[in-house]
Amino acid sequence: MSGTTASVQLAELDSLDFHVLINDEIDQISPSLNCNVRHAQSFAGVPLDEVADPSSRGGAKMEMPMHNICCGAHGLSLFITAKLGTQERTLLFDAGPEAGFLEMNAERMRLNMSDIDVIFLSHWHRDHSGGLLSAISLANKDKPSHAKVTVDVHPDRPDFRGIMFREPISLQADPTFAEIEAKGGELSLSSQPKTVLGNMFMISGSVPRQTDYEGGIPGGIRYMSSKGAWEPDELISEERFVMCKIKGKGLVIFTGCSHAGLINIAKHAKSLDDSPIYAIIGGYHLADASNEKMRRTMDDLKQLEPSILMPGHCTGWRFKLLIEHEMPGQMAPIFGGTKYEVV
């Protein structure tokens, strides 16, 4: 079955929310300007601790310690909860760059990581996979004995990824299939679109490249030990996304880094389910894009008529500025440590 012609049967959710466990930037203060996105503002989302002796502080019973505020880190991890009737299912979308940040922010957000049913990896890049093994341990910790969290990854895992400057610069290796299994993950290798968790989530296959201006990472390379040499790998062709559908609203697309291109991803999502695009959430990877690429992306984005744009991670401030200028009121950028309800 080709990824371009497959269709999937997504359940229509009552509602959806997600906690941003890891994102490059944090902002505990700004309000939401899109009435379809709800989140705390003015520090109201930060957990408070009790003051041991209120009489010593003029009667103040609660304290907002700085160590309850999440930290930003280059990467992405989203704890997504889909709701339908009495059912709630949770998918962890990527795991950020380092175990320490994932563990620390999960603790600071008071997240019950055992609620995670599936861990999904969007692509083999360390800023998304670095916390993966830790996420498996946390997800399995309080599950009934022998229950294993499913870890869904694409089978095309390079031994290393990197970038060619004057010489190859390597990233750290992503977790191997053996490491994922040894940590207690139920490994699921998938390259074709499919639904999971009672059809509440769709996991895409690779994304067909349709536009002529979304070309991946200039200078991207991969190393396979079996070949013994670095090879060009600009497309990051195994990259996948996750999609949900909200009743009466439309598609909610979660994207990791958009190396496949924001527009290619949105068009492919529509080819899998021809509902209106309601929201696009995650990394748009336009931080280092040319003005022309940003212009063409914006023109095509408007044609797709999304209601909500929630850029984060590698999107970059220039494209966020462009969205706010050309599609005012539609953007609700995501920030680490914040819970968002899409209504």
Q: What is the binding site for Zn ion (CB under 5 A)?
A: 125, 127, 257
Residue 307 buriedness (CB in 10 A; 0-12 / 13-18 / 19+): middle
- Which among 168, 143, 159, 18 has a CA at the least distance from the CA of 81? 18
Measured distance CA(44)–CA(55) in Å, rounded: 24
Residue 59 beta carbon to Zn ion: minimum distance, rounded to whole angstroms? 47
Nearer to Zn ion, 79 or 124 (CB): 124
Nearer to Zn ion, 193 or 316 (CB): 316
Residue 99 beta carbon to Zn ion: minimum distance, rounded to whole angstroms? 17
Measured distance CA(183)–CA(81) in Å, rounded: 24
Residue 130 beta carbon to Zn ion: minimum distance, rounded to whole angstroms? 11
Nearer to Zn ion, 45 or 256 (CB): 256
Residue 192 beta carbon to Zn ion: minimum distance, rounded to whole angstroms? 21
Buried b / exposed e along 160-183 (16+ C-beta atoms within 10 A): bbbeeeeeeeebebbbeeeebeeb
Measured distance CA(196)–CA(10) in Å, rounded: 9
Nearer to Zn ion, 125 or 249 (CB): 125
Residue 122 beta carbon to Zn ion: minimum distance, rounded to whole angstroms? 8
Residue 76 beta carbon to Zn ion: minimum distance, rounded to whole angstroms? 6
Please answer whether residues 22 and 77 qualify as being in contact, where contact means their C-beta atoms are separated by less than 8 angstroms.
yes
Please answer whether residues 130 and 75 qualify as being in contact, where contact means their C-beta atoms are separated by less than 8 angstroms.
yes
- Which among 146, 170, 143 has a CA at the least distance from the CA of 159? 170
